[in-house]
Structure 1
Amino acid sequence: MAERSTAAVDVADNSGDEPLTAKADAASTDGMADTQDAEGASSSDAENGRDGSAAVPASPDLHSGHKLARRYRLEECVTRLDGFSSWRAVDEKLRRAVGVHLLPADHPRARSVLAAARSSALLGDPRFVQVLDAVEEGNLVYVVHEWLPDATELTALLAAGPMDAHDAYQLVSQISQAMAAAHREGLAHLRLTPGAVLRSSTGQYRIRGLAVNAALRGITADQPLRTDTEAIGALLYAALTRRWPYESDAYGLSGLPKDLGLIPPDQVRAGVHRGLSELAMRALANDGATASRQEQPCTTPDELAKAVAAMPRILPPEPAFTAPPEYQRTTYQQGTYGRPSARPSSATQPVIAVPPPPLQSRTGKALKWAVSALLIAALGLGSWQLAETVLDRGKDSGEPTPTRTTDSGGDDKNAVEPSKPVSVVRAQDYDPLGADGSEKPASIENVYDGDASSYWTTDGYYSADFGRLKEGVGVVLDLGKVQQVGNVEVSFLGGSTSVELRSTEGSSIPQLPDAFTKITKGTGTKVSLKPDKAVQARYLLVWLTKLPLSDDGNYRGKISDIKVTS
């Protein structure tokens, strides 16, 4: 694409056409200060070949409150320079703030301003502050654009100090991509200064004054692509160093020392990102010279955007950790709890209210007598009622009380049936885990003979757990048939013995103790083994699990009696 020689090349003079209006969603701010325009005016004229010899009419003499097209109400003049003025205004139709550029219709640059504004409005790129209207009305020409109240000028951002590497990377990346898109549509800026770059609250950079700012000042360039690329390089240089990359001061930034020429940003300030420093030097008009190597200069915004994309991505800095405040110990933890205060207490003593004087008048005395009479009457009435109650009780106690008989012959279904003894047909020693399978069978009948002096005893063992030879020994009781068992009472001699009650409904004695069902257990010299609920069984196993120490130094179990009840 051929380069353009003005800010709005190839745009015809459409002064007779209807105004072109482009609606936008956001408001805008112009923000161009008079001082910035004054600072950059002379340098821009010299650099961009502006012709200032032509007579320029004075800017329109308007005041706040003036309305344009019965819609745009002027609020505040922010710039008045070179025959035009810039205002903050209000769009009363859409109720939003807008910016307005005003100049006389006979201004020599009025036609070029209208053409530049209309071509910029057709771009419709959200990275640029949108032109909303471009109108010639009577003896006035005005351009309406967005106003962004929540955006901040790059000038204000740089006033706080240089940017970190991530912010500078985002700046050059977004600006170069936006200008590359504008140049593809045949538009150039030619006045890309820190005042023309805004950063929104979301971190997005937006460019204002595309083609229009240069047309207002009559700025032209033989190489608009190179001019805008160098301007982006200057913005990056300023973001990295907070210095303007020329000898003269501009836009609130100090220029470089004289006679040193253009030096890389990383030599101006320590800690500058090396890749961004080289990128700024490639974009500026220095034939691409860098501090460490010779790179081809970036002569167009598109080349600069590609160079930025080829760089390793610069991540944002990690958030700084804020140390928590020092822990404040309480008075109790500091050891002063309960101690008297070193300073005298300033609290005042509570004032004791003086009770009102008693009733001394005649009315007061009468009231006291009335209350006394009521109390005496209440006491008398209470005494009379108490005496009457006592007399009534005495009369009732002298009368015979009728008795109520119950027929005992009826069936009482709720009566608990008493337990009955269950006869033991025979008993058998049970030692399936022993070597000989037998445990003193000669005296086994003593466990159910009803004689408390006779007993059945186990063999002697070296410990209470049968010398760790087996789990236990026991006695099997044969009830003759399956019967209900409600309780089994076992009496021991020789000391406290641990015992379990197990049962089976089978017709034969199981070979191993685990084949029996465990019912309950207990410990003592007289243990009542009562199931949670009555069980049906023919064979009961009284299984000894822990033996007491006998007089001969061995551990033996002795059962003197076993009683079974239903």
Structure 2
Amino acid sequence: MTQVGEGHETAADEAGPVLTFGAPTAGEILAERYQLEEHVNNDSAGRQVWRGIDVILRRSVAVVLRHPGGDSATEMLQAAVAASRVIHPNLVGVYDAIDEDQRAYVVREWVDGESLRDLIATEGPLDPARAISIAHSVADALTAVHATGMVHGNVHPGSILIADDNRVVLADARADSSDTVEGDVRAVGGILYFALTGHWPHAEVGNSALTDANRDNVGNPAAPRQIRAGVPAYLDDLTMDLLDRRVAAPASDALTAELGRLDAAAAEDDEYEDAGPLRFMQSGGSSSSEPSRSAPKIMIGVGALIVIAIIGLVFGIRAITGTSSDNTAGADTSATTPAGDDGEAVAPPAIPEKLKITGDMVRLVDAPPGSRTDADEAKLTVDGDKNTGWSTQTFRGAPNFGNTKEGMGILINLGEPRALSDVRVTTSVPGVTMDVRTGSSDPGDSSNGDKKLLKDYKSLSDEKPEKTTGTDSIINGFDPNAKYQYVLVFLTSLPPSEEGSGYKVSVNEIEVYGY
């Protein structure tokens, strides 16, 4: 049983106090009507979520409670009152909103099921058909909200509930003056991305329970098809266009219609690849001033058709006039591999794959002075389990290892030179400064060896690395014409320790992708 309805964190949420005085207890009856049965959890906004009973109507309810009430709970109550005016099968029903000064609470429909966040944590990324179905339901709910002139402002894997009967419900509107209709629509792209990959592409305030998207060196999330196989190209384009602010966002009703079309195709086992261009991109249903990328795509398609027509015309004329050579009639007219400038066949671009790395292929690099007492943990960074890893010691005074050393890292020996694409690193928290360096040999697992290694190894980028904004990072910059055997993931600055004193981080997983 999970009944969270938790969404993103906001700066306003973080400012709200959470007190123990006046805290609710099981069995207590609020407003002489709502009996608290079970404390389910506390959400990111500092609110308690309870399962309760409406003693008058004898039905289960969810009670979202915050104490104290008053000004700190005004936004929560106003959003609930506004949401209660919209009735839709994919919106959670809001029954009551009460401010008792010491505490305030919203009483809403209880949904037997779990949040999308918890579903993904349990089952992993969803198949494309189910991801589309969930996104379609969310977009349909937003269409109803936007039709009233409201904004939801909290479309998030924690606020989407999946009922035991597979009904999809959007809960806990939390709109403020900074939220927009476009933000709601783009959040649907985030939901698609999360459902397909298990990663969340939007930045969040504070520590997030969601795994951050794999990103390139400028912070852009990798496309779903780069993360997992089996994502249709059309769905991949749709998801990334919704996330890309350079592409005009559709109106919520246009997005609902498009997702409905795909949902119906999935129900009939149709191919998404034949779904055609993004229809809402042609409708101009957005107020965004940014140009759409669909027009160039369409022009490329038109140009291709013209080229094909010209080629067909030329071959037709040659056939009619008989100018082709005798052996042309027996030639193989099937598609061939394109040729380069030198006439040699050009192979299609390879898709990078995750390289197999075992614990005996990695070691700790500890720029002196260092005790090297945690060297045995290096193998945990490549064990395939993101719940284990190598943890640095807690350093006091400064994030750059307390001004005691140049840094620390993990050296990977691939066993043989390989063409590489990128390195993907998962850390326990964001705010790490790190880069990837390469060299021609391992001078030895010792303090002197590490000194020589750091002197000889070169970073993939000439630019100074920036702090990570999430827990998952993609570092690229490998020369496509070179091969690498030794790869060093090197940390030069640490984030504040989760324990609240000093600086510390865990490197939970390192993955190397190549060809």
Q: TM-score, normalised by structure 2?
A: 0.46
Larger Rg: 1
